[in-house]
Amino acid sequence: MAMTNVPLSIRLPFFWGEAAPAAQTPVSARQKGLLIGQVTTSNYGVPRAIASADQAASLFGRGSFLHRMALKAFNACPWGDWTAIGVADAADSTPATKTITITASNAGAGTLRVWVGSDCQDIGVTASESASDIATAIAAAFPSGGDYPMTGTHNSGVVTLTAKNKGTAGNGIYVAVDGNIPLPSGVTAVVATGATGATDPTLTSTISAIADKTYNKVAVWLNDLGDELSTDILDRWGWQRQQHGYGFSAVNGTSGVGDTLGYTALLGAASTYAATHWTWSCLSLEPACKTPAFEAAAGLCAVALRSDDVDPGLTIHGLALQGCPAADAGSQFTPKMRNDLLYAGYTTCGDVGGILTVDRAVTRKTQNAYGSRDERQSSAAKIWLCEWALNDLRATMETEYARCRLVNDGPAPEGCATPSMVRGTLIAWYEKLCRLGYAQDPETFAANVQVVRPTGDKNRLDALLPANLADNFEIFAPVLSYS
């Protein structure tokens, strides 16, 4: 029997007891989420734990893009372990603006429902109210201190809505007067694009701020910066760092001639990422999606975080992005378009009850380095399960073999490990995964797992683990033979 701390040199009687936990199956660590977005305060460049969306508003500015991301993250995963890193607007950047031009002639009483992003406000109109007064009411409904991502001002019947953060992310904020609610008689409201948001910050200092902290799920507010962060996440999967992680972004299709939904443009952009980005999901959205891309990215990240906390590697098909309204009917991708986008490496959502609901989460990798179709790393859920399995294996090995001597196969004294012993531990670990439903084919694993002691370093064991991780039931295709 080996005692951990009581030395054999003790001569003083009698009782020298100690306590230690018994060996057991390691407990899975809690998933950690990270939100990265623009702020309107000086709290940027430093990771900050957040316990609520209100705390995010206090830290990063109410209505800032990062606060809006926190709102969606806590909607979907209120008990999540969340951290946020703010990013300052770039120097010489400009904010996006939208205008609503009101006219009123002998206005009748009624209501205008005005959408700004994923939120709306009902503006009451009284009989004979002037265009200027209606515009004043609309602007007042979107104050600078509100939760909304844009601030309203007015001048002579024209409402100007200005994004609270500068750069291109504000260009995709949905602004509309709801056409499903009849306008008061004698009133018109015309929405137009004003100034185009331009010049985005980089993530260089943000990635440095993340340093060697581990985050399992990361949402970034701007898809164009996903490439920068994804490169860092890929590096985290290497043996040198072993921190893993998975990224999320979202992008709106850009309307063009004959392509009002931006579907063709999205397919054209997919090839940029097809060969490398297997630790990243990009959610494709229509130009008229009510949820801004930065909010949808946070919502998708939160749904994945919540699911993986409960059951690692399980598909998130059918889960709703709470608080993320979809585009109106007629402005949505068709099922055929969504299937094509999935095949091209975009995650897609459908519309269930007016809310974005996940079709399927896929990675951006669809090709190998030679340009041939390669779907081995296309399932986002399989990547999440792989991360969990690696972390569980690490905990198992650290529990079983911390501070052991290593000897060749044969009778092993207390406190020694042999290649055969480790092989047996690996087989038992894999059988546990199979019992939990995380893996399959334990007999094949047991027959083919290899543990060797390399001649170049006698203090080391190398192992080849032919794991067949569990798949997800994504598609059912029955034929009903009737008579």
pLDDT in tens, 392-409: 999 999 988 988 999 999
**Looking at residue 46, what is its pLDDT?**
95
**Is residue 343 included in any domain, yes or no?**
yes
Give the contacts of 219 (CB within 8 A, at least 6 positions apart): 33, 34, 35, 36, 69, 73, 247, 248, 249, 297, 298, 300, 301, 302
226 has pLDDT over 70: no
Q: Are 342 and 360 in contact (CB under 8 A)?
A: yes
Cα 380 to Cα 313: distance, rounded to the nearest angstrom: 8
User: How large is the average pLDDT for residues 90-119?
Assistant: 95
Residues 188 and 302 in one domain: no
**Looking at residue 274, what is its pLDDT?**
63
**Looking at residue 430, what is its pLDDT?**
97
Which parts of 164-257 are beta strand (E)? 175-177, 187-193, 217-220, 246-252
pTM tops 0.75, yes or no: yes
**Looking at residue 183, what is its pLDDT?**
94
**Looking at residue 394, what is its pLDDT?**
92
Which of these three, 173, 193, 213, is where a domain ends? 193
**Is residue 153 included in any domain, yes or no?**
yes
CATH code, domain carrying 163: 2.60.40
Residues 234 and 172 in one domain: no
Residues 188 and 216 in one domain: no
**Helical pair 263-270 and 335-343, crossing angle rounded to 10 deg:** 10
The SS3 call for residue 166 is: coil
Domain span at 117: 97-193
**How many independent structural domains does the chain possess?**
3
Residue 300 CB burial class (10 angstroms; 0-12, 13-18, ≥19): buried
**Is residue 49 included in any domain, yes or no?**
yes
Residues 111 and 231 in one domain: no
Which of these three, 381, 414, 449, is where a domain ends? 381
Residues 368 and 277 in one domain: yes
Residues 344 and 254 in one domain: yes
User: How large is the average pLDDT for residues 14-37?
Assistant: 76
Question: Edge to edge, what strands does the sheet with 175-177 contain?
Answer: 119-125, 110-116, 175-177
Residues 82 and 103 in one domain: no
133: closest CA among 159, 115, 151?
159
1 has pLDDT over 50: no
**Is residue 411 included in any domain, yes or no?**
yes
Cα 436 to Cα 452: distance, rounded to the nearest angstrom: 28
Residues 186 and 211 in one domain: no
Buried-state track 259-297, b at ≥16 Cβ within 10 A, e below 16: bebbbbbbbebbeebbbbbbbbbbbbbbbbbbbbbbbbb
Residues 225 and 286 in one domain: yes
205 has pLDDT over 90: no
380: closest CA among 345, 411, 407, 354?
345
The SS3 call for residue 360 is: strand
Residues 336 and 476 in one domain: no
Which of these three, 152, 172, 193, is where a domain ends? 193
Q: Are 442 and 473 in contact (CB under 8 A)?
A: no
Structure tokens at 183: 């306008």
Residues 189 and 205 in one domain: no
**Looking at residue 22, what is its pLDDT?**
64
**Is residue 302 included in any domain, yes or no?**
yes
**Is residue 265 included in any domain, yes or no?**
yes
Cα 75 to Cα 298: distance, rounded to the nearest angstrom: 10
Cis preceding linkage at 15, omega within 30: no
**Is residue 39 included in any domain, yes or no?**
yes
**Is residue 483 included in any domain, yes or no?**
yes
Residues 349 and 437 in one domain: no
